[in-house]
């Protein structure tokens, strides 16, 4: 983990919706400032333990602005931080989302998390298979 720098988005590697959104983010991130790691992978597990986060909660995304730093954002806070990091018009979208009360945002997030497998399916997690092979160097396992 010492060699990795920059922002990392941890996501549920078995969630069809999460993997699709991560593929989209990897393409939308033209400056390549984001890295991605499935919550089920060894890299994420070590980072979660280091921050005192539960290593088995795959219903929440985790955004860390610096992998070796102490800061992180969960659920919609992580979505907002991720969109802000993309820059451009996505910063405006992030500001608009941030204007919505956290309790409302996270209630909607949890509702989607409860039904995501039924709607978008479950994907077998494989540490050696990034969701976007063209961006493989940005995926940490």
State whether residue 88 is helix, strand or coil.
coil
pLDDT in tens, 43-62: 999 999 988 998 888 888 99
CB 9 within 8 A of CB 138: no
pLDDT in tens, 81-109: 999 999 999 999 999 999 999 999 999 99
CB 79 within 8 A of CB 93: no
pLDDT in tens, 100-141: 999 999 999 999 999 999 998 998 877 777 777 778 889 988
- pLDDT score, position 89: 94
Q: CA-CA distance, 82 to 62, in Å (whole number)?
A: 10
Global pTM reads 0.90
Residue 126 in tokens: 């494989």
């Amino acid at each position: 983990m010492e060699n990795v720098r920059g922002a990392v988005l941890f996501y549920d590697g078995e969630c069809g919706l999460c993997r699709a959104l991560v593929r989209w983010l990897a393409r939308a991130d033209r400056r390549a400032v984001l890295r991605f790691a499935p919550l089920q992978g060894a890299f994420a597990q070590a980072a979660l333990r280091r921050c005192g986060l539960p290593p088995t909660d795959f219903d929440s995304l985790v955004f860390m602005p610096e992998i070796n730093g102490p800061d992180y954002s969960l659920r919609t806070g992580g979505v907002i931080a991720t969109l802000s990091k993309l820059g451009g018009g996505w910063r405006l979208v992030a500001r608009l989302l941030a204007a919505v009360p956290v309790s409302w945002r996270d209630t909607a997030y949890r509702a989607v998390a409860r039904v995501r497998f039924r709607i978008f399916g479950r994907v077998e997690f494989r540490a050696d298979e990034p969701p976007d092979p063209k961006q493989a160097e940005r995926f940490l396992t």
